Each structure stands twice: as C-alpha cells, then as structure tokens.
C-alpha cells in the first residue's frame, strides 16, 4: 500500500514537471535562451547574437512570452539582450511592476512613445549598445523612482529639451550615462542640484 502510493505520487510529480516544462520552454523565442527564477519575478532572454533572426517574429514571440500568466503581473526585472530587435515589444509597456529593465546590445533605433512612462516602479533602465538616435520628450515623464539611465554606445544626436527638466518629475535620478554617442551639445539640464544638494549629472 505504502509503496504503491509512493509510486503514484512520484508519477504525478513527474507528469506535472513534464507538463510545466512543456508550457514554459516553447514560450522562449526561437534560438534564444530564457532563464528566470520562480515564481518568475526575474526573466532574461538572451538571443546569443543571432542577428539573422527576423526582428518582427522575435517581437511577436516576446509578446507571447511576456503576456503569459507565468510572467505577466509577476516580473520585477526583465533583460532582453543580444538580439535583432529594432523596437520595444508592446507587451513590455504593460509590465508595471518592473523595477529594472535591461535592453542592452540589441538593434533598437527608437524607444516608443507612451510606453516607459507607464512603468512607474522603474528604478534602472539600460539601453546601451543599440542604434538609438534620439531621446524624445515625455519618454520618462513621471518616473519618480528612476535612478539610473544608461544610453552609452548609441547614435544619439538629439535630446528633447523637456526630457530631464523639472516637469518630467524625475526626482530620484542620479546618473545618466551618454558616453560614446554623437551629441554635439548639451542643454543645462545635466547640472542641477536637488534640495539636499546631491549632485545629479550626465556622464
């Protein structure tokens, strides 16, 4: 009786594990590696530099992954790196619990309007090593918890005059990294101080 019960339980656990893996593994985009910890509060999608992956297909597959009930509403940290993505998947704009978003080493040419400003819990954003040419007004408006931005190694030549001014309400911002771009001049915004005299700056 005891042995038979143990065997039945073992079979149920094994079947559950197989079915769980079966649900998760196909969700990862083709030729990419997905890693994350239970209960999927963190997720990394590394496409391993496969630049021949169709960027629209990849975006669609990421939308399926990020809209799945194993990830949606749970993620606080998302990393998508080394891919052929040219735009940010719309599903990213709905991940309102994110505190960290890393989009390093892709092929992004522009960040979407009315997207990142929805991520009100965001503290860190990395879009370094892409092909971004502009940081437009309103991109980070109202992100009071945002502390660090990394745009190094892009093609940025234009930054909106209102991106970092007081109306954007970026009250926690401490570091903006812009090295290795093609910016000809900077407006005075990188050199203000808050009421505690803590320096904020662009590097």
Q: Which residues partner with 37 through β-bridges?
A: 42
- The structure tokens listed for 122 are 């965001």
Determine phi and psi for 57, rounding to 5 degrees. -60, -40
Say if residues 163 and 135 touch (Cβ distance below 8 Å): yes
CA pseudo-torsion sign 55, 121, 177, 49: negative
Distance CA 118, CA 191 (A): 26
Q: Over pLDDT 70: what percentage of the chain?
A: 77
Question: To which residue do tokens 């502390």 refer?
Answer: 147
Span 166-177, mean pLDDT? 91
CB atoms within 10 A of CB 171: 14
Q: What is the pLDDT of residues 148-163, one digit of tens each?
A: 999 999 999 999 989 9
pTM: 0.81
How would CATH label the architecture of 2-202? Alpha-Beta Horseshoe (3.80)
Q: What is the pLDDT of residues 94-133, one digit of tens each?
A: 999 999 999 999 999 999 999 999 999 999 999 999 999 9
Query: Most confidently modeled of 18-22, 177-181, 186-190, 197-201?
Result: 177-181
The domain limits of the chain are: 2-202
Q: What is the pLDDT of residues 57-79, one digit of tens each?
A: 999 999 999 998 888 889 999 99
CA pseudo-torsion sign 173, 130, 161, 91: negative
Say if residues 79 and 44 touch (Cβ distance below 8 Å): yes
Distance CA 85, CA 134 (A): 17
């Amino acid at each position: 009786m005891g042995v038979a019960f143990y065997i039945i339980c073992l079979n149920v656990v094994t079947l559950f594990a197989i079915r769980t893996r079966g649900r998760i593994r196909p969700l990862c985009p083709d030729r990419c590696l997905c890693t994350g910890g239970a209960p999927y509060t963190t997720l990394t999608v590394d496409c391993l530099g496969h630049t021949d992956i169709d960027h629209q297909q990849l975006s669609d597959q990421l939308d399926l992954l990020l809209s799945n009930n194993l990830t949606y509403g749970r993620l606080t940290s998302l990393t998508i790196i080394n891919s052929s993505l040219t735009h940010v998947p719309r599903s990213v704009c709905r991940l309102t619990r994110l505190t960290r978003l890393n989009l390093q080493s892709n092929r992004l040419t522009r960040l979407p309007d009315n997207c990142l400003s929805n991520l009100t819990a965001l503290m860190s954003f990395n879009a370094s090593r892409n092909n971004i040419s502009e940081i437009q007004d309103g991109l980070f408006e109202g992100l009071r918890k945002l502390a660090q931005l990394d745009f190094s190694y892009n093609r940025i030549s234009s930054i909106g005059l209102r991106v970092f001014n007081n109306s954007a309400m970026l009250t926690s911002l401490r570091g903006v990294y812009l090295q290795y771009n093609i910016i000809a001049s900077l407006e005075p915004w990188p050199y203000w101080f808050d009421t505690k005299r803590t320096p904020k700056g662009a590097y």
